[in-house]
Amino acid sequence: MGASVEFIKYFTGYIFFNKTRQRLLFIALFGLFLSSFALIVMQSVMGGLQNGVVKRARDVQGSYVLYLTSPSQELLAKIKKFSIPFSLEYEIELLLKHHNYLAPAVLHGVHPDSRLPQFLNYQDMNNGLVLGSELMRKTQADIYSSVNVISPAHTNSFFGDIPRLITLEVSELVDTTVFEVDQTNAWTRISAVWNLIQKKEFNRVRFYGEDASFKENLYRLQTEFPNEFEIKSWEELNSSLVWALKLENFVMITLFIGMSLLVGISITSGYLLFFDKIKNDLLSFWIMGLSLNKIKKYSAYFLLFLSFSVAVLGVVAGLLFLQFIKNSHLSFMPDIFLEQNLPILIELKVVILSFLVPYSIALFFSFFIFKNIKNDEKSFLSQLRSSGE
């Protein structure tokens, strides 16, 4: 073990501190360091941005939605006992008309027993209609404007099957920062929706957030009332967005693997030149009694130690840089962006992947270095004779 440590110390000093050090190898190792550093920084920033998008959407659209079919009073009573915010409502797709402006909308009639999230206030809905910011822009409505709420799915046969409508006054504007919600969603008291559809019922329960026992209690509730509702998570309702975020991560990792392949080629070239230059030193170790197998083994230890150290150093430097960005609260983004500071999300899998990708590629290319080392002692003998001549 002592000989291997001395072997590694000798060649580490030769690479980094000797006047004749190999600049190509030094540049290749710096590329390996930069790969680990850039990969953890990009993954953490991208993960922070994606996490922000998902969190804002879940806070507005709900982490879980119950699609009620024929809810009993017992089921509704148990739902009201949940500790997290929820919206007990009747959801309906219809049209909003203000003057000559017509826009499709999803209207949420919210029951007063709901425990609403922060972006909603039942008092505003009790006074009239709460519109998403983009929906208000589409209809050119304003606070205190009168808006016709038209449901083509419900008609009055007495008047020739014309769609039913009610008139509500806009009481509040909501800007959720989730464009898909702001451009189509509106909220009001459930009694107004019941008046429109002319029946009293519920068809949705939205849960905003979750605690440690929430999912367990929710699925236990489903076993008790199997025919009264269906559970859908936010991920199920937004499967296209979830797939797009996963694809984004996959493309980013693939691009960095391609960059690391170029680094691996540089490492191969650098190692080949390095071992060609130190063949006389390897011969000296052999003359002093070190066997060829041990020389090959210690060379492998050296390459593994060098690549491992540089990759770890890149990850550590990346973590320190991310911590600096996180603590400094520097503003990088223009005012048009929601995230003024770079959001950082550091996960264990990101740290491991940022180390494994460059390190594995470096090992793969280092394997070819050993193929270049002769497998018999005759090569050292011929080299010794040529040195003597």
Q: 10 falls in which pLDDT band (50, 70, 90)?
A: low
Neighbours of 376 (CB within 10 A): 8
H or E element, residue 97:
strand 86-98
State the virtual CA torsion across 378, 383, 388, 389 in degrees, nearest 10: 100
Residues 6+ apart with CB under 8 A from 155: 161, 162, 163, 164
Same structural domain for residues 297 and 200? Answer: no
Same structural domain for residues 313 and 193? Answer: no
Say yes or no to pLDDT of 105 above 90.
Answer: yes
Q: 382 falls in which pLDDT band (50, 70, 90)?
A: low
192 touches 166 (CB < 8 A): yes
pLDDT digits (tens, 9 = 90+) for 221-280: 888 888 888 999 999 999 998 999 899 888 888 887 877 777 777 777 766 666 666 665
CA–CA–CA angle 43, 56, 121 (5° rounding): 165
Say yes or no to pLDDT of 288 above 70.
Answer: no
Q: pLDDT at position 168, please?
A: 93
Q: pLDDT at position 22, please?
A: 59
Where in 215-374 does DSSP place strands (E)? 229-233
Query: Does some domain include residue 371?
Result: yes
Domain holding 360, by residue range, is 2-56+241-388
27 touches 266 (CB < 8 A): yes
Helix axis angle, 239-277 to 292-328, nearest 10°: 140
Nearest to 102 by CA among 45, 160, 152, 158: 152
Say yes or no to pLDDT of 147 above 90.
Answer: yes
Same structural domain for residues 89 and 197? Answer: yes
Same structural domain for residues 126 and 198? Answer: yes
Q: Region 57-68: what's the mean pLDDT? A: 91
Same structural domain for residues 194 and 249? Answer: no
Query: Does some domain include residue 213?
Result: no
Q: Which residue has the higher pLDDT, 287 or 150?
A: 150
Same structural domain for residues 89 and 146? Answer: yes
Neighbours of 375 (CB within 10 A): 11
pTM of the entire structure?
Answer: 0.76
Query: Does some domain include residue 146?
Result: yes
Same structural domain for residues 89 and 142? Answer: yes
Q: How many domains does the chain have?
A: 2
Q: 93 falls in which pLDDT band (50, 70, 90)?
A: very high
Same structural domain for residues 181 and 102? Answer: yes
Query: Does some domain include residue 215?
Result: no
To the nearest whole percent, how much of the chain has pLDDT over 90?
24
Query: Does some domain include residue 227?
Result: no
Same structural domain for residues 92 and 202? Answer: yes
What is the identity of the amino acid at 323?
Answer: Q
Q: Which residue has the higher pLDDT, 122 or 22?
A: 122
Same structural domain for residues 278 and 147? Answer: no
Say yes or no to pLDDT of 316 above 90.
Answer: yes
Same structural domain for residues 272 and 379? Answer: yes
Query: Does some domain include residue 234?
Result: no
Answer positive or negative: Cα dihedral of 76, 79, 81, 83.
Answer: negative
Rounded Cα–Cα distance for residues 212 and 218 (Å): 11
